[in-house]
């Protein structure tokens, strides 16, 4: 099966909320840092407003809403503090979604794969090691690689470029599939010209309708990819 007539040549995964169930830990580490400045953010508000942002835009928006302006120095201090808090929370490992490591290994046996995430590399690398997936994802686009977070499409454009360079081929964005869990992530992928499939780990289906297809688990996506590119 081709997706809307477009064969898939590479699969690019978001990380938090797709591979690992870390969004609550990002929320917890964020709250630990901002409460010293009198800011608060409950989980529903975090999901509604901030999921999909990288840490820079997360703090910028939170403090903007509180009527406070951040200097670049203070912004970097907040980002660094949250990174340390997140590392402490995940030091013993994290929960991955059921069947995900096995699904990723099967997909990687058929397609080139990459990660495109708004998280910091220091957030991602230890968790990939813990899941024994580091060697499967040598191509990783993280928050440090782009100047703006999702929904800006630059991260996905860069991910496509890096996959193409690794394969030494020309690779059209439309031939790449993004796996996302948030509306902002889907928008970034679509605006970069990729196909986008969504998984309902974080948001309900009615908030993911801009994706080409919507699934309830990554193993379901894996089964759909087993049929990808087959003649209809």
pLDDT in tens, 154-178: 999 999 999 999 999 999 999 999 9
Structure tokens, 1: 């099966």
| Averaged pLDDT, 26-32 | 93
Distance CA 117, CA 51 (A): 12
pLDDT for residue 191:
98
Please, what's the b/e burial string for 145-184 (b: 16 or more CB within 10 A of its CB; e: otherwise)? ebebbbbbbbbbbbbbebbbeeeeeebebbbbbbbbbbbb
Question: Phi, psi (5° rounding) for residue 14?
Answer: -70, 170
pLDDT for residue 232:
40
pLDDT for residue 230:
63
Distance CA 72, CA 63 (A): 13
Q: Is the pTM of this model over 0.85?
A: yes
111 bridge partner residues: none
| 104-141 residue pLDDT tens | 999 999 999 999 999 999 999 999 998 999 999 999 99
pLDDT for residue 146:
95
Percent of the residues in the chain that have a pLDDT greater than 70, as a whole number:
96
Domains belonging to the chain, first-starting first, are 10-21+95-226 (3.40.50.1000), 23-89 (1.10.150.240)
What one-character DSSP code corresponds to residue 37? Answer: G
């Amino acid at each position: 099966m081709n997706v809307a007539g477009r064969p898939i040549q590479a699969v690019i995964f978001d990380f938090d909320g797709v591979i690992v169930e870390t969004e609550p830990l990002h929320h917890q580490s964020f709250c630990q840092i901002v409460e010293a400045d009198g800011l608060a953010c409950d989980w529903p508000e975090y999901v509604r407003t901030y999921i999909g942002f990288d840490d820079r835009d997360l703090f910028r928006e939170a403090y903007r809403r509180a009527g406070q302006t951040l200097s670049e120095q203070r912004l970097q201090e907040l980002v660094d503090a949250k990174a340390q808090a997140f590392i402490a929370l995940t030091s013993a490992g994290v929960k991955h979604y059921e069947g995900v490591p096995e699904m990723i290994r099967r997909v990687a046996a058929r397609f080139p794969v990459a990660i495109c995430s708004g998280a910091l590399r220091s957030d991602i690398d230890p968790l990939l090691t813990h899941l024994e997936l580091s060697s499967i994802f040598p191509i990783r686009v993280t928050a440090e690689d782009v100047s703006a977070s999702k929904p800006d499409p630059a991260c996905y454009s860069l991910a496509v470029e890096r996959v193409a360079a690794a394969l030494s081929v020309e690779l059209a964005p439309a031939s790449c599939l993004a796996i996302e869990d948030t509306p902002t992530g889907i928008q970034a992928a679509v605006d970069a010209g990729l196909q986008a499939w969504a998984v309902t780990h974080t948001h309900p289906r009615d908030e993911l309708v801009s994706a080409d297809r919507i699934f309830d688990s990554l193993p379901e996506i894996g089964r759909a990819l087993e049929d990808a590119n087959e003649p209809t």
